[in-house]
Structure 1
Amino acid sequence: MDPVRQIAQAVLYEGYLLWPYRESSLKNRHRWTIGGVHPEAYGRANEGHPWLMRTECLLEGGPGDVVDVSVRFLHVVTRLREEAAGAGEEAQEREVSLPGLVLEDLLHGPVIEKIDVPAGQESSEGTVLRTRRALCGRIEAGARRLRPDLFRITVEVVNTTPWPGGTREEAMRRTLVSAHTVLHAPDARFVSLMDPPEDLRADAAACDNAGAWPVLAGPDGDRHTVLAAPIILYDHPRIAPESPGDLFDATEIDQLLTLSVLALSDREREEIRHGDPRARAILDRCDSLTPEDLMRLHGIMRRTEPHE
């Protein structure tokens, strides 16, 4: 997996399900708290539940350059298992892309792409039924020329899914969860909003972001890609190479979390195995780690500045 996709994947599942990875645990009964773009009617009626996410960033290039835009989010689904009482929740990944947007075209008005995910249900393993609500909305991408070789790119994500009323749980099934935007310009260069050049600081400060924090992504020094995430990151974030896999916890303490998983009781493990399949994968991965794998998680020091 390329490094940008790897970071975006970690953002997508940030806080998805926390240790001890049992859906019955108190902290996992109030899920889907990060990066939600809620149905507009629900968001307007409930302060703190935005229905729009906006990304604005600066791009140095020419009018003939192109930008690829991709919006990713999780779609909450309800899981029913015949042999278990009650219902659980998990999520499916969704992605809507606007490839090859020419800056010159964006200057004349936004390009709009619909979000249209139909309701549905599917069964698996013979006894598990998963159902989902419909999602609808739009993505608008536009640009404004600030200087001959400088553009401000704007991407807005709006959730227009009808909201009939009901509980927060029902609203979350119609929400774009953990939504984030990736912008890629193969022949142009994005400007860091965290540390812009002195002559661009005013333009960077004028970028109006809502529910998104754009940072440069990819290898150090690369300015072709921006990741606009619902959590604060630094430019060029990376996943530690020692990490054997996602544990859904920011700046993960892999060794501590892994040892905690290994210490779960048989009863807790059984609940996990009958719950979210991603939690089950964590349990299986932790069980399969060798002593050498665990020692690699013990800790390492890295220089953040060149040694002089």
Structure 2
Amino acid sequence: MTVAMDTARRVADAVLYEGYLLYPYRASAAKNRVRWQFGVLVPPAYVETAEPSASVTECLVEGASNALVRVRLRFLHVKERRVERAEGDGFVPVPRLEADGRTYLTFDEATEREMEAVLAMPALLGVERTVAVPVPGDRAEEPLPSGKGKGRGNGNGSGPVGRVVTEHRPLRAVLRVTAESGAGPYGLTRLRVRLENATAWTPGEDGTRDRALRHSLVAAHLLIGVTAGRFVSLSDPPEWARTAASGCVNEHTWPVLVGEPGHRDVVLSSPIILYDHPRVAPESPGDLFDATEIDEMLHLRTRTLTEEEKREARATDPRAAEIIRMAGELPPELMERLHGAIRHVGEPARREPVPWWDPASEAEVSPGSDSVTVAGVEIAKGSRVRLAPGRRRADAHDMFLAGRTARVEAVLLDVEGARHLAVTLEEDLGADLHRSHGRYLYFAPDEVEPVEPVGPDGEVGA
């Protein structure tokens, strides 16, 4: 493992376990019943969902005509965990079993898989190299003693009360690697890696996604490094490489530069969108399976779980049990570190104020007295209108405003000469507060209909 690869590994681990389990980390939680959403490469024969069986990574390297290319494949291999109760001379699958004071649940786990191929760049130019990645299956059984001297079922023998069966299905992945010289100016080379799940699988009678996942590559991603030359950022390429970068085709993956800022010798081809040189916050005390979340919030929420909920979480997965332990034992000084951090200390940059248009300086503009004609009626501040949001608006909340009456607070003119109405809803109890802070809803004149005013006695048209 190179230093650069080792530096990138922590970010890659966060990607590997993104969404593995979500708070409240219990098998019974609705959000943990449909699992593994990122980087899933299903067997080619599974077509019940739109999930792919392959991904394609294309990236640009400069000055790497004689480099060695390291392609490291990492993914989770689903491990079926099935709890079975002893019954007669055999075992019967059950969702839950209590044995010797512990709870055992039927709930799939996952095992990390990793392999690396080292290829010479000259041997890849114009030629596709194939690297087969066979992953064997295995099966294990763990007997569950009752702890009370009882044997199978309701008998009094010495056999177990049940067992936990864990099993990996065999997988077969394939890496297809090729390179193309002259992909752009200054000796750019386009590197292409296609990752395929080539596992043979027959859906049979139970072709559910849960079954297919046991034959899938989960959270699959690549770490690609070069011993010479440098990768070009695809997120923010230099101007001279922009055309070549836009020509790179990436399917079901997002390659970004990783490692220390400024280093460009390793790329992470991630199933989730990242920026260049991502990193996990140094204050984070452990993995919570949601790198985009706030550690402080998840730790505090985990501490609020009931003892029964914590017990179920511990039985759900060994990693969930570690989260429960970590949240309960986190000392106050480390919890305080999660509350906020200062990344850069120094004098704030001083900038001259940017001049902008001031409506008070324009004698021809007066939002408080200007008007606009709508359906033959002059609309100005104080006018009543009925809202009719137009089709060109993209805000989904507009559907809740259609047909409601509002009061015009100002008629505005933008820099392009178009008129806009600032309004407050008549039935909004906080209208006075919005008015005092200048927080309005804005509509074009063709998105409102005039409404007759209400007189002092409450009659329309007075």
Partner of 2:81: 79
Instruction: State the shift of 1:250 in Å.
Output: 3.0
TM-score, structure 1 normalization: 0.94
CA distance in 2, matches of 1:257, 1:103: 45
Amino acid at match of 2:252: G
Instruction: State the shift of 1:64 in Å.
Output: 1.4
CA distance in 1, matches of 2:333, 2:136: 46
Structure 1: gaps spanning 5 or more residues:
none
Q: Is the counterpart of residue 238 in structure 1 residue 279 in structure 2?
A: yes
Amino acid at match of 1:221: G
Amino acid at match of 1:73: F
Instruction: State the shift of 1:273 in Å.
Output: 1.6
1:257-301 residue CA offsets vs partner (Å, 9 max, x unmatched) = 001111110111111121211101111111111111111111124
Instruction: State the shift of 1:124 in Å.
Output: 5.5
Structure 1 residues 29 and 306: alpha-carbon distance in aligned structure 2, compared to 1, 3 A threshold: farther
CA distance in 1, matches of 2:348, 2:66: 41
| Paired residues for 1:1-308 under 5 Å | 2-42=6-46, 45-81=47-83, 84-85=96-97, 87-99=106-118, 101-123=119-141, 127-146=163-182, 147=184, 149-165=187-203, 166-303=207-344, 308=349
1:159-205 residue CA offsets vs partner (Å, 9 max, x unmatched) = 11122111111111111000001101122100000111111101001
TM-score, structure 2 normalization: 0.63
Q: SS in structure 2 opposite 1:88?
A: coil
Instruction: State the shift of 1:33 in Å.
Output: 1.2
Structure 1 residues 96 and 273: alpha-carbon distance in aligned structure 2, compared to 1, 3 A threshold: same
1:18-62 residue CA offsets vs partner (Å, 9 max, x unmatched) = 0000011000000011110111121xx345210111110000124
Amino acid at match of 1:121: R
CA distance in 2, matches of 1:16, 1:183: 24
Instruction: State the shift of 1:3 in Å.
Output: 3.0
Structure 1 residues 114 and 296: alpha-carbon distance in aligned structure 2, compared to 1, 3 A threshold: same
1:100-142 residue CA offsets vs partner (Å, 9 max, x unmatched) = x111100141221112112211246865431111111211111
Query: Cα RMSD (Å) of the superposition?
Result: 2.0
Structure 1 residues 89 and 304: alpha-carbon distance in aligned structure 2, compared to 1, 3 A threshold: farther
Q: SS in structure 1 opposite 2:51?
A: coil
Instruction: State the shift of 1:304 in Å.
Output: 11
Amino acid at match of 1:134: P
Structure 1 residues 293 and 209: alpha-carbon distance in aligned structure 2, compared to 1, 3 A threshold: same
Q: Which moved more, 1:116-125 or 1:226-235?
A: 116-125
Structure 1 residues 172 and 3: alpha-carbon distance in aligned structure 2, compared to 1, 3 A threshold: same
Structure 2: gaps spanning 5 or more residues:
86-95, 98-104, 145-162, 350-462
Contact 2:42/2:212, CA 8 A, preserved across alignment = yes
Structure with the higher helix share, 1 or 2 = 1
Structure 1 residues 296 and 62: alpha-carbon distance in aligned structure 2, compared to 1, 3 A threshold: closer
Contact 1:63/1:102, CA 8 A, preserved across alignment = no
Instruction: State the shift of 1:306 in Å.
Output: 9.9
Instruction: State the shift of 1:82 in Å.
Output: 5.3
Contact 2:280/2:291, CA 8 A, preserved across alignment = no
Amino acid at match of 2:121: L
RCO higher in structure (CA 8 A, sep ≥6): 1
Amino acid at match of 1:160: A
Amino acid at match of 1:9: D
Amino acid at match of 1:70: R
Structure 1 residues 141 and 167: alpha-carbon distance in aligned structure 2, compared to 1, 3 A threshold: same
Amino acid at match of 1:177: V
Q: SS in structure 1 opposite 2:273?
A: coil
Structure 1 residues 305 and 203: alpha-carbon distance in aligned structure 2, compared to 1, 3 A threshold: farther
Contact 1:40/1:161, CA 8 A, preserved across alignment = yes
